[in-house]
Chain A
């Protein structure tokens, strides 16, 4: 049976889709079978971030409505053998995802994969609660910024009440992933520090992804940032986070950009 991860945040634009793709690719790179599932019906983007937008034929809603079988809708990644994508539908019908339909699809997927990673839409509406319903682990993506921290706190409350685990009296394993972190600004006192966010939200830390131009660059190419340039700072942060999800103990740090000789020289000259 698969471990089911939901990547969630409440607030939009903090890096849920980037994180879903990056963790999915990082886990698949270790040889595990991974499927990433887009729950953002009407505003799908995981296909684009994964570089699979031109290969979408059937989607999540087609499977639920019986117009396609699950294997027909799954898209195999071009780079990693064991990575698959189930795209969301672009329909404007918000109720296209039904509880029973989602239950059935997640159940089928978890029989064939090691990891099912659900990319939640922003907000706390139906799509978001459906995405978190089956979660064993919730990755709460947060920026060191007041509105994002507040919304994450709200999402934590919902994870504790509206998931299948909560209904059974169990708790979802919640982990904080701090993204767009700028260690220099935090040190200057211009940005919430990791410890501040941890103290406010009181969640265990899964990783710290530094603010980096590599994230945008990887999305331009349609390659998950964790495999685009594996030596880049965000790639190392995501690969470390994936290994922590697999139970490895890895010292927590903010990966820094490795500078080549040439850029070191440029930096000194600047």
Chain B
């Protein structure tokens, strides 16, 4: 809303509308993203745990959002030295 409009009209509803639209588009992204990350984390945990013993807390999933591209960072800690021979056996 331009300064002109703000000074010369006393309609407050357009302000409310604009603020809500901006706020909610942001909140939907963040809160929706939370759900996406937690389901990704569950999927990764299930996939890794099928091959290597792995605890729930040792899977970390982070999402760095950027304009040209976003980076999904996955870190899985596994106790001890992983025996690579396991992949052949499985």
B12 touches A150 (CB 8 A): no
Give the CA-CA distance A196 to B14 in the complex, in Å: 9
Report chain B residues within 8 Å CB of A188: 11
User: Which residue on chain B has the smallest CB distance to residue A153?
Assistant: B24
Contact count band on B: 10 to 19
Partner of B16, one of A153, A157, A192: A192
User: Which residue on chain A has the smallest CB distance to residue B17?
Assistant: A196
Give the CA-CA distance A149 to B18 in the complex, in Å: 12
Max count, chain A CB within 10 A of own CB: residue among B10, B20, B23, B28: B20
B21 touches A200 (CB 8 A): yes
A190 touches B24 (CB 8 A): no
A189 touches B11 (CB 8 A): yes
Contact count band on A: 10 to 19
CB B31 to nearest CB in A, in angstroms, measures: 6
Partner of B13, one of A153, A154, A190: A190
Report chain B residues within 8 Å CB of A154: 27, 31
Could you tell me which B residues sit within 8 Å of A by CB distance? Answer: 9-14, 16-17, 19-21, 23-24, 27-28, 31-32, 35
Report chain B residues within 8 Å CB of A196: 13, 16-17
**Is A1 in the interface zone, CB < 8 Å from B?**
no
A200 touches B24 (CB 8 A): yes
CB B34 to nearest CB in A, in angstroms, measures: 10
Known contacts A146-B20, A153-B24, A200-B21; A189/B32 CB under 8 A: no
Partner of A193, one of B9, B13, B19, B27: B13
